[in-house]
A and B are shown apart, each in its own frame.
Chain A
Amino acid sequence: MWKSAEALIVAAALAGTFAAASVSAVADPASAKGEATKAGAQAKGEKAPDKDKARQAVNVPAAARPGVPPAKAIALGRPALPEEIAAWNIDVRADGEGLPAGKGSVKQGEELFLQSCAVCHGEFGEGAGRWPVLAGGRGTLKSDRPEKTIGSFWPYASTVFDYVHRAMPFGNNQSLTPDETYAIVAYLLNLNDLVPEDFVLSKENFPKVSLPNEATFYDDDRETTEKSFWKAAPCMKDCSGEVHVTARAQILNVTPDADPPKGNLE
């Protein structure tokens, strides 16, 4: 395996070469949000950082930055600028960490949802075609056809906020403002009968929202509940009585190729 201690010695040697290099003063255009995707934000006279300079940019020696513990050897990578981190740091956790300031009402959310989401998810989150169903399904998790929706299955409302902002609307992701995202999440909570019609969701009241199925999740326990799958000497001979075919794939006939290949010994 890779030995970090050894590699760091190499890195330390390299670090000396670049110790005097300075940090790029401008946010990296490849990571700054908007510049790559939104026309408006592009050319505000900002100069792209000099390519060679950016290439050589390395960490400022630890001594130059107060509050940073003494660096192990650093030769590669340069400090991330605050605006670069802000552009990509969009994750929201179950405890609310990462939620932006803002708010949105069920009513606003309904309008946005009908505009941007209902074409796939249905006006009431019932799903169109094979697109995900978002509402309903309470009490179905033990049934033959469980309906896993935000209300019936998802453990955390923060996941809805994170995902809607991150990856929705499908094909136009990260286009929603924080307020719009709060509004859509509020509407989805309302569709699942979790908040009233006049509810306004905000960063402040978000931690009070909990989803009904949260308590039913538990960490992987296969090594105890499936301990019987570890067997010293699995059976090799006469392990069962007569064996019969009990089900066949051809009866369902869902294989993409409509004309499955045949043997040639007819």
Chain B
Amino acid sequence: MPDNTFPRTGNSAGNGAAPALSRRRFLSVAGQGAAVSAGVAAAATGPLLAAPAAAGPDPNIVPVPNWSKALGAGVNVNPYGKPSKFENDVVRREVTWLTASSESSVSFTPLYALDGTITPNGLCFVRHHGGEAEIDPDKYRFMVHGLVDRELVFTLEDIKRMPGRVNRAYFLECAANSGMEWRGAQLNGCQFTHGMIHNVYYTGVPLRAFLDVAGVKPKGKWVLAEGADAAVMTRSIPIEKALDDCLVAFAMNGEALRPEQGYPVRLVVPGWEGNMWVKWLRRIKVGDQPWQQREETSKYTDLLADGRSRRFTFIMDAKSVVTSPSPQAPLKQKGPTVLTGIAWSGRGAIRRVDVSLDGGRNWTTARIEGPNTPMSMTRFYLDFDWGGEELMVQSRAMDDTGYVQPTKQELRAIRGTNSIYHNNGIQTWLVRSNGETENVEVG
């Protein structure tokens, strides 16, 4: 098929090197247009009927396409494989006005184009505070010290020789995910409103193993996790969490951590805000009180309407979002429609997800499909027949503690609009009768 059947927009200003969102997904492909219209008509008159016969042979069938007649590329043209060139608009994107420099910024996961529950390694959102550290694995060192019986240094080899290695899937959500939406709808696309999240299968060793070997003294109540990057990122973590389910991870989705995700070693802090998952982990110090570091005082604290601030709001509460339809993935056809989205909770497993098509007046329980484990992303679907009416699409997650994702109004009533962090309010997408979809607020 010639490339010119896939019209693309040019790069837009302020979007860096990332290709602009392609219109390919949303425009009818030459030769299918007739079938699309016919399909809509068929759905309107008799939903169980197949689309009527085409007027003439589909040029994608007759003549037989070239890819069926000539040899394709060999097995190792791309020794490290990459996505189809027709998917090259599925990339992380920045919002350049958000931050002062790209070394201390964020790029967002293209949730609108993904399915299933695991985020591909190259699409996991990236947040740096001092750029991406490049660490030779032979020179990597991990130190455990402070209120312990034995202050120790481990090499990467040591970590990989520790007994008790585990594999666990967990979501990592930045506390600031949806932070731009506190005052109202701002960004048109779930990539930007909800894209500071990824869900990855980690391989690593429980942090507890290292603390046990070091021997935590009875006075040890907190640990300080520290990175080796130029931000020398630090966070205080209560000892109970450190001994419970934190991992010293060296692999993601079966391969070594990506450099931008902390190669060779990062901390995994299941269900808790992403900033605590220290990348390029170099040090765990045990102490008897939190360290009051920059990222747990001036940042990642929640300023409320009364001028006071919550601190140590570690847990990410239950949240969900419909990823399709969404502004970057509008509806293309009337008739059978697969609505899909993701849900997650830092308190446990997702028990149920409800979907509303009328702005929250009426709800239907969605179908959860695939893995549904604690503190990991859960995929949901709602298959429905769209007649072309305007929709106000929402999703509402419930976890196994009984927590129900609140509306934005419910959140603002308690917290005001200055919080920045921990915005887990219900998202509304307005789907117009032409399929175009927009980020809105309803009331």
Contact = CB atoms under 8 A, between A and B. Distances in A.
Interface in B87-144: 93-97, 99-101, 103-104, 129-130, 139-141, 143-144
Contacts of A255: 187-189, 192, 327
Given A88-B283, A91-B285, A167 B28 contact: no
A41 interface: no
A159 B330 contact: no
Given A162-B293, A167-B129, A236-B363, A217 B12 contact: no
Interface stretch (A106-114, A177-185, A194-202, A226-234): A226-234
A4 B234 CA distance: 26
Contacts, number: 342
Interface residues of B, number: 133
Contacts of A80: 143-145, 151-153
Contact of B140 (A30, A219, A243): A30
A136 to B, nearest CB: 14
B153 A77 contact: yes
Interface string A226-261: 101111101111111001111111101011111111
A199 B39 CA distance: 79
B404 A230 contact: yes
B141 A30 contact: yes
Contact of B358 (A153, A243, A265): A243
Given A94-B292, A246-B442, A142 B434 contact: no
Given A2-B166, A91-B226, A230 B301 contact: no
Nearest to A221: B310
B13 A263 contact: no
A141 B418 CA distance: 9
11 contacts: A30-B141, A76-B213, A93-B291, A129-B100, A158-B292, A159-B293, A167-B129, A216-B309, A236-B354, A255-B187, A260-B188
Given A216-B307, A263-B432, 10 more contacts: A1-B245, A2-B166, A4-B208, A28-B141, A80-B145, A91-B234, A171-B103, A222-B315, A238-B362, A243-B359
Interface of B: 9, 12-15, 20-21, 23, 25-28, 36, 40, 93-97, 99-101, 103-104, 129-130, 139-141, 143-145, 149-155, 157-158, 161-164, 166, 184-189, 192, 206, 208-210, 212-215, 224, 226, 230-232, 234, 245, 282-283, 285, 287, 289, 291-294, 297-298, 301, 303, 305-315, 317, 327-328, 330-334, 354, 358-363, 388, 392, 396, 398, 401-406, 410, 414, 418, 430, 432-443
